Structure 1
């Protein structure tokens, strides 16, 4: 018995000395199993929302590079920048010797993703489709980064806040909402988009929810025909700007006529990260102001 105990102690010492760790696996948002021989220690994020997810999951210390606009939290601003959504510096990424790259399937160009795949490095595709999946993403990235305890705590806190927001606003009198992604061309979202989940959670009804495309192009005439009661959109400075130019002077467009325009900071509402709940709260409060005026 003493001999077995001694062998066990020696084995633990050897494992610690060699840094041997068990393999880790997690499903990404495309349903692919990502398996690493050990928790990732050098992670490259090639999407701003992925950078936020990694830091929120307790893996900020392992992130060795990000991309343009990957600027939250403040610590992310100190990281090397290896490109943007359209162009990545593949040589620099390879030189960093990452053991995991977190990508955005519909945010990074297909050509750039193909070049990343050619590096034969593990890729985790991150694209939460609703608000609940953001919390789930924290847990899965925590598994791959070996920061499960921190990631689970963050996901639990996120789930609690999300549930509270839905309890407060989801059953409020419904409002018909047109969410404008961009004005030239005129882009909106269908009901499979995380922003549509925010709208539902605030008691809103997305007037283009049944569209087939995730981000469809619509005409001004189609928007008028949908008869929205609220126009919601985003801007850098949360104020009405040129993005609302298609609607100026249209007195028959109810959101303009009744001042039912809700603007939310772009970096909050456009990133599938825990800060999406800040955007949702602002959206809900904006809807409440519209209800009060009605």
Structure 2
């Protein structure tokens, strides 16, 4: 009996790992013979997801904007959207490369024989789905534990928002040039979960470029903006009449807060806490 048990264990150890087919957001199917041990990530939210799922040690290179957790700063930086260093990526011999859907080098990487998975979460549902996809690729069971943590954190943030802040109409400028967080973006969804309003209608999409006169007419009661975008905001033509400007209801986020807020991934609960803090402070009488 012990001999049969030994032979069974030996056979199990020598059998090849079961291949996994991963379908990405562009409809490409990538077959992984085994969970990848050398990973390149070219999008900060995907980098953070890989690390949150316990695979940070498998990363061998990241894009220049990936800066969390701190350990990824020691990895080779592979450029950005417009200057990705394909030759350096190839030299790292990755088992898989995670890229954004909008990546301009995905086809070139595939042409060099690399396995590429394109993912780009833009909504809460996307984040939940991407967690499952990356978890499957990494061979990590129960990737949804991260989603449960996010959900619990967002719910706690919502519970901290006082009644007088609920329904407050918000304009959230996510990037210079008047790019706004739309209702259907993950940032807009967080605002909704916190009980705030949004001056951007759903039909404008997730991150529309807004005419400054649109904001004046919408007259938000609160403005959220990053430090870089805040320069000269109150001097924009006509903006002195906006309720948020007149009453000083402007939250200016620090760069490190901006990173958390802008990345649809494991730190979305922290992003909700940052927004909730803004709502609590600016809605106070």
> TM exceeds 0.5?
yes
1-structure distance, mates of 2:124, 2:160: 16
By how many angstroms is 1:201 displaced?
A: 1.4
**Structure 2: segments with no counterpart, 5+ residues:** none
CA distance 1:29–1:13, change in 2 (3 Å):
closer
CA offsets 1:88-125 (integer angstroms, 9 cap, x no match): 1111111211111111123x3x3x33323323422222
CA distance 1:244–1:113, change in 2 (3 Å):
farther
SS at match of 1:181: strand
By how many angstroms is 1:75 displaced?
A: 0.8
Aligned equivalent of 1:12: 12
CA distance 1:49–1:123, change in 2 (3 Å):
same
State how many pairs are aligned: 281
By how many angstroms is 1:64 displaced?
A: 0.6
CA distance 1:170–1:155, change in 2 (3 Å):
farther
2-structure distance, mates of 1:279, 1:260: 19
| 1:128-139 to 2 correspondences below 5 Å | 128-139=121-132
Q: What is the CA RMSD across the aligned residues, in angstroms?
A: 2.7
Aligned equivalent of 1:233: 225
CA distance 1:53–1:207, change in 2 (3 Å):
same
1-structure distance, mates of 2:232, 2:148: 36
**Structure 1: segments with no counterpart, 5+ residues:** none
2:137 matched to 1:148?
A: no
User: Structure 1 length as normaliser, TM-score?
Assistant: 0.84
1-structure distance, mates of 2:107, 2:201: 31
User: Structure 2 length as normaliser, TM-score?
Assistant: 0.86
| 1:97-176 to 2 correspondences below 5 Å | 97-106=93-102, 108=103, 110=104, 112-148=105-141, 151-169=143-161, 173-176=166-169
